[in-house]
Amino acid sequence: MRVIEVDNYDEMSEKAAELILEKIKENKHANLGLATGGTPVGTYRCLIKDHTENKTSYKNVQTFNLDEYIGIDPDNPNSYHSYMKANLFDHIDIPAAQTHIPNGNAEDLAIECLRYDKMIEEKGGIDLQLLGIGTNGHIGFNEPGTPFASHTHVVELAQSTREANARYFNSLDEVPTHALTMGISSILASKGIVLLASGEMKADAIYELLYGKIDEEMPASALRKHSNVTLIADKDALKKVKGQRSVACGQ
Ligand SMILES: N[C@@H]1[C@@H](O)[C@H](O)[C@@H](COP(=O)(O)O)O[C@@H]1O
């Protein structure tokens, strides 16, 4: 795993946007895997700024989001559909039909999961997957204990995840209990992965990711099985690994 240490959130966001833009320059038909949460908002802001100033085009890009809540309307301001529109899609030239997000309101969720994986595969797979990390090490909505072999599936959210995400809702009761998420195996199928982490809150998870066991109880540790992962983390997120950086943290 390549580790890029940056000073703060803004530098992390700029670096991540740079890697995404490099990918689009290399291949204007790039398939991008996108994430939600607070962490990638700055990256999306940098992409929007670049689009405005340098006119990088997304006309041929396809995007695939990691996850979506079950049981809230796509128009609900807290859905990941709304998040993606507000934070990125409404500000760049990507055609709506090329933005893909699991449908948490599908009549048959099992069929929706199969459809989503099949669609990603049929479109050639993901070239670059952007990821955040939960304080308990979750990626997407893959909570501790999720099999590494999992594909897109329905999950029951951990109480700690619901509490962490309650800041976006009026109350904890409003936070959905379930979600659809790409599985660990779907994530590992990406050709390249960029994981972002900022702030002290993520320091334990980053320590475990780099130095803990590769274990299903720590979902992000599966990333150590992938040969092309870049972690961009700020000083606060890397706080616990200081002095240990010479230890190999690869596969
Ligand atoms: N499903 C998302 C994850 O994709 C995200 O990585 C995580 C961390 O969120 P934040 O970036 O706000 O810390 O939260 C949510 O649960």
Phi, psi of 158 (to 5 degrees): -65, 150
The CATH number of residue 155's host domain is: 3.40.50.1360
Establish whether residue 72 lines the binding site of ligand 1, counting it when its CB lies within 6 angstroms of any ligand atom.
no
Establish whether residue 13 lines the binding site of ligand 1, counting it when its CB lies within 6 angstroms of any ligand atom.
no
Residues 111/152, Cβ–Cβ less than 8 Å? no
Q: pLDDT tens-digit profile of 150-201?
A: 999 999 998 988 999 999 999 999 999 999 999 999 999 999 999 999 999 9
Complex prediction ipTM: 0.96
Number of domains in the chain: 1
What local confidence, expressed as pLDDT, does residue 227 receive? 97
Distance 9 CA to ligand 1 centre (A): 15
Q: In a mutational test of the pocket of ligand 1, which residue from 141, 193, 196 has the highest number of ligand atoms less than 8 Å from its CB? A: 141
* Residue 236 covered by a domain: no
pLDDT of residue 230 exceeding 90:
yes
Residues 146/184, Cβ–Cβ less than 8 Å? yes
* Residue 249 covered by a domain: no
Q: Token digits for 120?
A: 């990603």
What local confidence, expressed as pLDDT, does residue 244 receive? 61
| Average pLDDT of span 10-14 | 98
* Residue 241 covered by a domain: no
* Residue 230 covered by a domain: no
Phi, psi of 192 (to 5 degrees): -140, 150
pLDDT of residue 247 exceeding 60:
no
* Residue 97 covered by a domain: yes
* Residue 223 covered by a domain: no
Would you name the residues annotated as active-site residues? 67, 136, 138, 143
Question: What domain range includes position 102?
Answer: 2-215
DSSP for 87-127, written as a single string: HTGGGS---GGGEE---TT-SSHHHHHHHHHHHHHHTT--S
The answer, as to whether pTM is greater than 0.80, is: yes
* Residue 245 covered by a domain: no
* Residue 238 covered by a domain: no
Phi, psi of 156 (to 5 degrees): -95, 125
Atom of ligand 1 nearest to the CA of 181: 1
Atom of ligand 1 nearest to the CA of 202: 13
What local confidence, expressed as pLDDT, does residue 245 receive? 53
